Every structure is written in structure tokens, then in C-alpha cells.
Amino acid sequence: AQSVAQPEDQVNVAEGNPLTVKCTYSVSGNPYLFWYVQYPNRGLQFLLKYITGDNLVKGSYGFEAEFNKSQTSFHLKKPSALVSDSALYFCAVRDDGNYGQNFVFGPGTRLSVLP
């Protein structure tokens, strides 16, 4: 069965500093990995995904994530945080994407960017 862990409930970072939101996963097949962001009273918005290819994936709003197969991790990063990046971030996984229908989401990490 697939599972996703986000070890930090909350991440605080100063504006302008780099940020990292951690995610580790467990799947039986090949992982399809996703990051989503949720602003208050809104649905989840897609940021980026890893399917195959380059381990460094670039996404929306200057975010990127690095797939590390040996560590089964898919950490979200941004070189310079903005106050407007403050939100709830979810990592998700699905295995063998051509057949798997179900996404498993992590519990979420709340990012606070302090001015």
C-alpha cells in the first residue's frame, strides 16, 4: 500500500530565505509524486509532479522538488521565500500511474513565511 509522510507539521522561514518542505513516500511500484498547495478556504492547487526523467522538477511560482529514489524522498524547495507562499502544502503519491487511480496524500505541512 502507498503511504506518504510529511515529518513537519509546521515550517517557519524568513522572507528571502530558502525553504524546504519535506516528503517521504512508500509505494510498491514506480512512484508518481505530486505537490499541491492549499490557501485558506480554497481547494488544492497543483504545483508540480515527478513522473520520470530528470530528478529535479520545476513547477509553478518558482517551486521545485527533487526526487531521490534511494531515500524515497521528494522534498519541495524554493530558493527565496515570499510572504505570499504561506499556505498548507501537501505531498501525494500514486504508483504505476497508467493503472493506479488513487492518490494518497500526506497530512500536510503548514508553511509560514515571516516578513
Partner 1 sequence: ETGVTQTPRHLVMGMTNKKSLKCEQHLGHNAMYWYKQSAKKPLELMFVYNFKEQTENNSVPSRFSPECPNSSHLFLHLHTLQPEDSALYLCASRGLAGGPTDTQYFGPGTRLTVL
Q: Which of residues 52-91 bind partner 1 (CB under 8 A)?
A: 90
Convert 47-74 to b/e letters by CB count within 10 Å (16 or more is b): bbbbeeeeeebebeeebbbbbeeeebbb
- Residue 43 binding partner 1, by CB under 8 A: yes
Q: Could you tell me the smallest distance in angstroms from the CB atom of residue 27 to partner 1? A: 15
Query: Would you say 70 or 99 has its CB closer to partner 1?
Result: 99
- Rounded Cα distance between 20 and 79, Å, is 9
Number of residues that bind partner 1 (CB under 8 A): 25
Q: Which residues bind partner 1 (CB under 8 A)?
A: 32, 34, 36, 41-46, 49, 51, 90, 92, 97-108
